[in-house]
Chains A and B, each alone.
Chain A
Amino acid sequence: MTLILSEEQELLKDSAKSFVDDQWQLNQLRANRASPKTGTIDTGLWQQMVELGWAAIPFPEEFGGLGLGYAELGIVMEESGRKLLISPLLSSVVLSGSTIELAGNNDQKAEHLPKICDGSGLYAMAYQETSRHEPENVHAALTKSEGGYQLNGHKQLVINGGSANHLVVVCRSSGDAGDRDGLSLVLVDSKAAGVSIANNLLLDSTPSANITFRDVTISPEDILGEIGNAAEVLDEVYARAAIALSADMLGGIQSAFDMTLEYLKVREQFGAKIGTFQGLKHRAGRWFCEVELSRAIVLKALRSIDSGSGDLARVSSACKARCTATYQLSGKEGIQMHGGIGVTDEHDIGLYFKRARVTEILLGDASFHTDQFATASNY
């Protein structure tokens, strides 16, 4: 495992960077707030990303994928995160795609993965039920009914839930909330009877949904993996997602840092560039160290997915915890060092501060991951 980019990866990075710079403006985030289609995504932009092959990166070629890995997917996630681009990369490709790839049978993979890869299907994953990320705290009930199953429950923070035509739902087929046993995975058509979707716009303009399932009929073909036994697959899915999200966060972290560093070099007060003041300079130096540490652990974590590391739980938690802390630092220091302009809606730095909070809560904050790291280390 080497923690530097190969030549091919550098090329991918360059092309991803130009695409994002050409096709996406940070202003889009402001425009989204006023959009009547609150809570949905720009499918035109996503189709272009799909055409570049981004949605197909981590999947096997036999299912329409490019047969690459998370090292590559992480590159496009970092580049889109750099400009806070809104896309279904996390919800459709990483969360839903990984779940189907890891839990699905051959027929299910053959039906759904090509749709994710070619963009003809948009997938979202409904897993969270409470205010915190608690993977086993699942109440949504999967019960037997005539000829199949029924799903009842309520989910929140379903990223891109309002745009998705397929939902991957984490539910419980036995046991009580908090149990590891009894977790199941089902695929639900978002237009199915009994599915009601309430769209929300998150504070960073990410579309999210709360979804209620009332007596939704689930056919046996739409159960992913062994019923009641989804915990291990979910461990892997959440670890991958936390790492991929960290790559997106890294892009934002780097941007906020670069933007602020530039400001320190041009802004003048007391007749001097403010970057000459040690009170700011040394904080920038410490911030830089945090950015470098975050970059290294993201590179390592992405490659740990690809190599099938047995230490993925610890690595992913170290990665998400570190990036969460660094993104928080970046948002706060970014605003503080920009001074008054930093707290206006007009300046971009505040957009990074907002994204930092959303990505912090998604898939577990630093405290969750510190706890998970300790648990995975057997203490």
Chain B
Amino acid sequence: MSDLETFRQEARSWLKENCPASCQGDDNILPDILWGGRRQKIDEPDVQLWMDRLVAQGWTIPGWPKEYGGGGLSAEESKVLAEEMSAIKTHSPLYSFGISMLGPALLEYATEEQKREHLPKIASGEIRWCQGYSEPSSGSDLASLQCKAVKDGDDYVVTGQKVWTSTADVSDWIFCLVRTDPDAPKHEGISFLLIDMESEGVTARPIVLLSGASPFCETFFDGVRVPVANRIFEENKGWSVAKALLLHERTMLAGGPGRAPVSDERRTLLEVARDSMNAPTGPLPDKAVRAEIAQTEMDQMCYAATLQKVQDAAKAGKGMGPEGSMFKLYLSELGQRSADLRQRLNGADGLIWEGDEFHPEAKETTREWLYSRASTILGGTSEIQLNIITKRVLGLPE
């Protein structure tokens, strides 16, 4: 038996012994995502048990080294484990910006001591992280950021404001880009700091979007003392860390590897159209809408093939580079088109903001449509993605 087959047997028997019956199968009680953090409460004892066992085994992030709370599995073994979990319809619900963005950057840039301090707490879900990048005056031109950190003994004193700090109001720590040298060229005076949200002088306030309440916040730093030991990589070299992290963010936004499964139990676009036209079977009476739905589905098919092609290339040893920008660009716009069509097809029901009598899906559809306008802005606007594609992939002059 090959090593991989041996591992498959081991994984299978471990799952058999450790995964509670209620946490597997079609009717399992697992949430799609548990974000972790000190404020997280798990009500179901079985879910807590399953989480504890996954954490002890290092299988919330099977690919990370064991000494940092991972499972120390190879890419092939991780895949086998995922297959075995999916075979019994279970998953590891822990997912967070710590897992998808900060962790990979720490593995690349942090000191051994920093890795041992922070990675295990990400893997166990003990600490929930948020991201402090954008500022009111630094959106697309991120490197112009002004939030400053001035050295004072063994600390930095951080003063300034961050915006679009997703989930800052419920997170434990924030990873931040701060200016440590105001006189250097803009990319060369930035450092990457880890800040405890409970520090004196940190305030986070949620932002209300077109769609209503949102996970986004603005976060203020008023003379916050942060130990120098919390700086990742060299002083004024934070932009390198930031770029590496942005690549992981784009991969995540493009639905690349590592994305947690999200279930969609709503009607399909076609079902919405059939309901709206009162045409349960047969050709859709509105030919223009029929063509729009077909176009959306064909686009989705093309996107899926493109994603598969890149994943196949990765399996064959060719990694995903700046093409990640293309995925983010295309997926966000495709999502917008389809959210727009779905909302439009809800017609009169889709216009109701609050009320008693309308289709139960309409309210959510309308908010999703409004929120979708953010998808081509957050994580780098479409225009920034095009700058990256044309520079890094196409080699066009600047």
Contact = CB atoms under 8 A, between A and B. Distances in A.
Interface of A: 2-4, 261, 264-265, 273, 275-276, 281-282, 284-286, 288-289, 292-297, 299-300, 314-315, 317-318, 321-322, 367, 370-371, 373-375, 377, 379
B381 to A, nearest CB: 11
Given A282-B386, A317-B298, A367-B291, 9 more contacts: A276-B396, A281-B390, A282-B387, A285-B386, A292-B323, A293-B305, A300-B308, A374-B294, A379-B283
A286 B394 CA distance: 11
Contact of A288 (B270, B273, B316, B326): B326
Given A314-B301, A322-B298, A374-B294, A281 B309 contact: no
Contact of B389 (A275, A289, A297): A289
B297 interface: yes
A284 B309 contact: no
> For the complex, would chain A's binding face be called helix, strand, loop or mixed by DSSP majority?
helix
- 3 pairs of A and B residues whose beta carbons are closest in the complex: A296-B305, A285-B386, A296-B306
> For the complex, would chain B's binding face be called helix, strand, loop or mixed by DSSP majority?
helix
B283 A373 contact: no
Interface string B379-397: 0000101110110011111
Nearest to B309: A3
Contacts of B308: 3, 296, 300
B39 interface: no
Contacts of B387: 281-282, 285
B389 A2 contact: no
Nearest to B313: A4
Chain B: interface size category: 35 or more
Contact of B394 (A288, A295, A322, A367): A288
A379 B270 contact: yes
A320 B298 CA distance: 10
Contact of B306 (A261, A292, A377): A292
B302 interface: yes
Interface in B284-332: 284, 290-291, 293-295, 297-298, 301-303, 305-306, 308-309, 312-313, 315-316, 323, 326, 329-330
A300 B396 contact: no
A315 B301 contact: yes
B396 A284 contact: yes
B329 A289 contact: yes
A295 B307 CA distance: 12
A321 B302 CA distance: 11
Residue picked from B305, B385, B393, B398, most chain A C-beta under 10 Å: B305
B293 A379 contact: yes
Interface in B259-299: 270, 273-274, 283-284, 290-291, 293-295, 297-298
Contacts of B385: 285
Interface in B203-229: none
Contacts of A276: 396-398
Contacts of A289: 326, 329-330, 389
B142 to A, nearest CB: 18
B331 to A, nearest CB: 11
Given A3-B312, A284-B394, A373-B294, A293 B283 contact: no
Contacts of B395: 265
Nearest to A315: B301
